[in-house]
Chain A
Amino acid sequence: MMSFLFGRKKSANSAKERLQLVLIHDRTDLTPAELEALKDDLIATISRHIDIDPMAVRINMAQEGREQRLVADIPLKSATRKRTR
């Protein structure tokens, strides 16, 4: 709707964006669903040792050249509590 009103997005841009996502999964052999499962496992494991907020955990695939990297950002609960006090 919006794109209809404000001019079509260039098709080359959609091609590039779509390819960026497709290539990440092709290269790692990891589907979005498997990435979610990995995330759940990771949260469960870490929670056994330290208090975290599952909703705040960010796990993403990043790339540098042809290298793929799994980047996890896991804020600790006790740390945030102290800071807000």
Chain B
Amino acid sequence: MTAKVITVASGKGGVGKTTTVANIAVALAARGQKVTCIDGDIGLRNLDVVLGLENRIVYDLVDVIEGRCRLRQAMIRDKRLSELYLIPAAQTRDKTAVSPSDMVRLCDELRTEVDWIIIDSPAGIERGFKNAVAAADRVLVMTNPEVSAVRDADRVIGLLEADGKGPASLIINRLNPTMVKRGDMLSVEDVLDLLAIDLIGIVPEDENVIVASNKGQPLALDDKSKAGQAFQHIARRLLGEKVPFQDFNTPNVFQRLLGRK
């Protein structure tokens, strides 16, 4: 096996990176792929709680890098999906405990063991971000349809281009179709016009995201949730499938039924 390394980054904080990493990882694992996700947010670890694995942590990323344990020992196996693993971030250290070349070395060791390595980047464009993208084969840039998130995404896209890490692919998260319809939210087309990169996913605003993180059960396995479906679509696109983008412009089924004959 030679894993593909995917990093989710955004510039701006709180746009949904950790949620997305957890859900893409779960969706890929549910399709029989062997997946390891790495929490790159050292000092602010969160991927463990979103995945519901917080009680099983013994070793973390910095322990591996500083040689206190072997790579295998820091990989927590998800009991629900046997081929899903998490390497948690250290909570009591800061980003300087890891360097970009540490990440490259670690991912190179891991590449032979899994199909996918999914890395959760911290917010910002400094050390933590540089660590998270250092080993990436492909970066998914995440934004919300909102002025500051789009501006920061553009900065990140520019930095990746300058570093020869482009072209990045875009995920638009927390789209609210009702607000788009009344002209109070940037549409998918608007964001694509502005950022001018390829789209890989549109995730609607969905209360189930919070319910799922309350429970520590990613919703990518829930076919009834809209966000869950959107995350599954992203996973399938990563696997090379051509999945058409959902049209969120018709917010409810009734309007859709009335609109068409």
A residues with CB within 8 A of B: 10-13, 15-16, 18-20, 22-23, 26-27, 63, 65-66
Chain B residue with Cβ nearest A8: B183
Residue-wise, chain B 177-202 has the 8 Å CB interface mask toward A (1 for contact) of 00010111111001001111100000
- Indicate whether B223 reaches chain A with its CB closer than 8 angstroms: no
Q: 15 additional contacts, CB 8 Å, given A18-B147, A19-B150?
A: A10-B182, A10-B184, A11-B184, A12-B184, A12-B186, A13-B183, A16-B193, A22-B151, A23-B151, A26-B155, A27-B154, A66-B157, A66-B195, A66-B196, A66-B197
Residues from 225 to 251 in B contacting A, C-beta threshold 8 Å: none
Contact of A16 among B157, B194, B196 (CB under 8 A): B194
Q: Which residues of A contact B187 (CB under 8 A)?
A: 12
Question: Does B158 reach chain A (CB closer than 8 Å)?
Answer: yes
A72 nearest CB across to chain B (Å):
23
A48–B150 CA distance with the chains assembled, in angstroms:
43
Chain B 138-168, CB within 8 Å of chain A: the 1/0 string? 0000000011001100110110010000000
**Contact size range, B:** 20 to 34
By a beta-carbon cutoff of 8 Å, the part of chain B in contact with chain A is 146-147, 150-151, 154-155, 157-158, 161, 180, 182-187, 190, 193-197
**Distance of A27 Cα from B153 Cα, bound (Å):** 12
Q: Which residues of B contact A63 (CB under 8 A)?
A: 196
| 6 nearest A-B pairs in the assembled complex, by CB-CB distance | A10-B183, A65-B196, A66-B196, A16-B190, A11-B184, A12-B183
| Residues in A whose Cβ lies below 8 Å from that of B182 | 10
Which residues of B lie under 8 Å from residue A26 when comparing CB positions?
151, 154-155, 158
Question: What is the CB-to-nearest-CB distance from B168 to chain A, in angstroms, rounded to a whole number?
Answer: 10
Residues of B within 8 A of A16 (CB): 186, 190, 193-194
Q: A22 — which chain B residues lie within 8 A by C-beta? A: 151
Task: Please indicate which of the listed interface residues B157, B161, B183, B193 has the most CB atoms of chain A within 10 Å of its own CB.
Answer: B183
Question: How far is A12 from B158 in the complex, measured between Cα atoms in Å?
Answer: 24
Do the beta carbons of B155 and A11 come within 8 Å of each other? no
Please name all residues of chain A whose beta carbon is closer than 8 Å to the beta carbon of B147 when the two chains form the complex: 15, 18-19
| Least Cβ–Cβ distance between B182 and chain A, in angstroms | 8
Chain B residue at smallest Cβ distance from A16: B190
Q: Quick one: given A65-B196, A66-B196, A66-B197, are A15 and B157 in contact (CB under 8 Å)?
A: no
Tell me whether A23 and B184 are in contact (CB under 8 A).
Answer: no
Q: Tell me the bound Cα distance from A31 to B161 in angstroms.
A: 21
Q: How far is the CB of A81 from chain B (nearest CB, A)?
A: 42
Specify the chain B residue showing the minimal Cβ separation from A22. Answer: B151
Distance A44 CA – B193 CA, assembled complex (angstroms): 36
Min CB distance B122 to A, Å, is 21
Chain B residues within an 8 Å CB radius of A27: 154, 158
- By a CB distance below 8 angstroms, the chain A residues around B193 are 16
A27 to B194, CA, bound (A): 12
Q: Which residue of B lies closest to A64 (CB)?
A: B196
A45–B131 Cα distance when bound, in Å, is 45
